[in-house]
Amino acid sequence: MKISIREIGSNGLEANDQFSQASIGFTGQDDLKLILPVDVKAKVERAGNTVLANIHVSSKYSATCGRCLEMVEEYWRKDFLFDFPVERHTEFIELDEDIRQEILLNLPTKVLCQKDCKGLCPGCGVNLNKEECGCKNI
Ligand SMILES: [Zn+2]
Ligand SMILES: [Zn+2]
């Protein structure tokens, strides 16, 4: 997403883009996969010698719950604010690399299907969210 400084009017400038999982360089860690491209909305404003970029990203991921191993699908969204110094000869600012890095830093690393997921019984392996098991009384 390349922003032309000249095109930032007094009301700012809006730009939209989509990043594929591959273009983010996200290879899928801990089973987390993006199942939608990341939608990127940028609102860019100029304030003196600084350009402020409000970035909103949203996507959807699938992952396995860290406790019970059930598959989880979850919408994910995040806002970032960047500022860039602008010098007299600056014509463009390129946002992609900053956005890419923030996405990688902010994607969840541990996913639970629910906050108090009971996980799997260490004795018999049943999913304790769904079933009681007999062995926990032994
Ligand atoms: Zn779970
Ligand atoms: Zn059990």
What is the distance in A from the centroid of ligand 2 to the CA of 125?
6
Which ligand is located closest to the Cα atom of residue 129?
Answer: 1
As residues whose CB is below 5 A from the ion ligand 2, the structure lists 121, 123-124, 133, 135
What is the distance in A from the centroid of ligand 1 to the CA of 55?
31
Domain boundaries, position 28: 2-137
Residue 70 structure tokens = 């059930």
pTM of the shown model: 0.83
Q: Are 31 and 112 in contact (CB under 8 A)?
A: no
pLDDT, mean of residues 51-78: 95
Q: Which residues pair with 71 in a beta bridge?
A: 64
How much is the mean pLDDT over the chain?
91
Residue 137 reports pLDDT greater than 70: no
How many domains are contained in the chain?
1
Q: Are 57 and 38 in contact (CB under 8 A)?
A: yes
pLDDT, mean of residues 34-61: 95
Q: Residue 80: left if φ>0, alpha if ψ -120 to 50, beta else—which one?
A: beta
> pLDDT: is 137 or 5 the higher one?
5
How far, in Å, CA of 66 to CA of 89, rounded?
50
